[in-house]
């Protein structure tokens, strides 16, 4: 029962937090830091190529380098985003998919996670209904 309430509360909070962002898809573009170093570029420099078209935010630090890109709803998918040409340094322009380690649609991933969570909860509830309650032996 606690898990069900927690799942419903979590779904309620996520729906509230994403209600204002429902007008577009969000993509996470991951990069290999060693490859970026070899190409003499950074996520911030790559972000400049996408900044004119979409809302973007680049991240780098101790973990993998990444760019979050928000695009209009239904206008573009991972493959089309990967086919876009970006400038990685002053002289080189390549498709994004050649530099990116992975391009992930966060909205699709969120929906998949919610469906898996609901299926898991349903399975647990069915198992609890089918198992008889064990009573403690009385002394």
Query: Does residue 1 form part of some domain?
Result: no
Kindly state the greatest CA–CA separation across the chain.
Answer: 84
pLDDT digits 0-9 by tens, 97-129: 999 999 998 888 888 878 878 887 887 777 766
Query: Does residue 56 form part of some domain?
Result: yes
Domain housing 109:
19-114
- Specify the pLDDT at position 47: 92
pLDDT exceeds 70 at position 6:
no
Question: How far is 97 from 84, CA to CA, in rounded Å?
Answer: 8
Other C-beta atoms closer than 10 Å to the C-beta of 56 total: 21
Q: What is the CATH number of the domain that holds 95?
A: 3.30.2090
Query: Does residue 100 form part of some domain?
Result: yes
The total of structural domains in the chain comes to 1
What is 29-49 written as a DSSP string? EEE-HHHHHHHT--HHHHHHH
pLDDT digits 0-9 by tens, 25-83: 889 999 999 999 999 999 999 999 998 889 999 988 877 899 999 988 777 888 999 99
Query: Does residue 135 form part of some domain?
Result: no
CB 100 within 8 A of CB 82: yes
Query: Does residue 122 form part of some domain?
Result: no
Query: Does residue 120 form part of some domain?
Result: no
Query: Does residue 65 form part of some domain?
Result: yes
Query: Does residue 8 form part of some domain?
Result: no
């Amino acid at each position: 029962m606690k898990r069900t309430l927690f799942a419903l509360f979590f779904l309620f909070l996520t729906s509230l937090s994403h209600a204002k962002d429902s007008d577009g898809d969000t993509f996470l573009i991951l990069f290999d830091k060693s490859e970026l170093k070899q190409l003499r570029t950074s996520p911030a420099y790559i972000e400049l190529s996408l900044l004119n078209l979409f809302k973007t935010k680049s991240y780098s630090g101790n973990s993998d380098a990444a760019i979050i890109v928000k695009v209009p709803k239904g206008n573009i998918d991972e493959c089309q985003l990967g086919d876009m040409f970006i400038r990685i340094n002053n002289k080189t322009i390549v498709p994004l998919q050649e530099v990116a380690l992975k391009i992930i649609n966060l909205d699709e991933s969120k929906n998949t996670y919610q469906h898996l969570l609901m299926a898991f909860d349903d399975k647990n509830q069915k198992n609890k209904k089918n198992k008889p309650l064990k009573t403690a032996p009385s002394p």
